[in-house]
């Protein structure tokens, strides 16, 4: 499973300058901004003598540039393997939809993963159970 968290921005109803707020958000999430941030982070990590594992953005264009041009193998196998693994699952990432049942939904699939990892259940039955639990939670919220 691939689970990513992060921040979200909103423009409240009645905001004084929603156009400027939207322009700022667009700038902050543009590929060019992410790439510039990744370059600055890479320099800072190098100056500190630390491994740079990259900046994961959710912006596919930015990530392609960051991981083909900015992030280089560090020579530290665990870090390099982690970068490879994260990059290999990025396209399979998903967002838990906003819902009154979001917590139950998240718990259902996390519990399924735990049962599989602990050897208590095979993946197919665990996911089927998680689907049923999540659907039940969604049904309860929507009634």
Q: How many CB atoms lie within 10 A of CB 105?
A: 20
41-79 pLDDT, tens digit per residue, is: 999 999 999 999 998 887 889 999 999 999 999 999 999
83-104 pLDDT, tens digit per residue, is: 999 888 888 877 666 778 888 8
What pTM does this model have?
Answer: 0.64
Q: How many CB atoms lie within 10 A of CB 36?
A: 12
Among 96, 98, 107, which residue's Cα sits nearest to residue 136? 107
Q: How many CB atoms lie within 10 A of CB 120?
A: 10
Q: Where are the domains of the chain?
A: 18-92, 102-141
11-46 pLDDT, tens digit per residue, is: 988 999 999 999 999 999 999 999 999 999 999 999
């Amino acid at each position: 499973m691939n689970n990513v968290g992060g921040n979200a921005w909103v423009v409240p109803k009645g905001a004084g300058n929603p156009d400027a707020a939207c322009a700022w958000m667009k700038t902050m999430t543009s590929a060019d901004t992410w790439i510039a941030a990744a370059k600055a982070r890479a320099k800072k990590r190098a100056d500190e003598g630390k491994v740079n594992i990259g900046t994961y953005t959710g912006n596919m264009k930015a990530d392609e540039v960051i991981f083909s041009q900015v992030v280089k193998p560090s020579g530290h196998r665990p870090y390099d393997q982690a970068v490879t693994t994260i990059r290999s699952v990025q396209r399979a990432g998903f967002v838990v939809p906003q819902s009154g049942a979001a917590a139950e939904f998240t718990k259902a699939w996390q519990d399924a993963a735990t049962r599989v990892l602990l050897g208590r259940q095979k993946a197919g039955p665990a996911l089927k159970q998680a689907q049923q639990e999540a659907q039940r939670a969604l049904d309860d919220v929507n009634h």
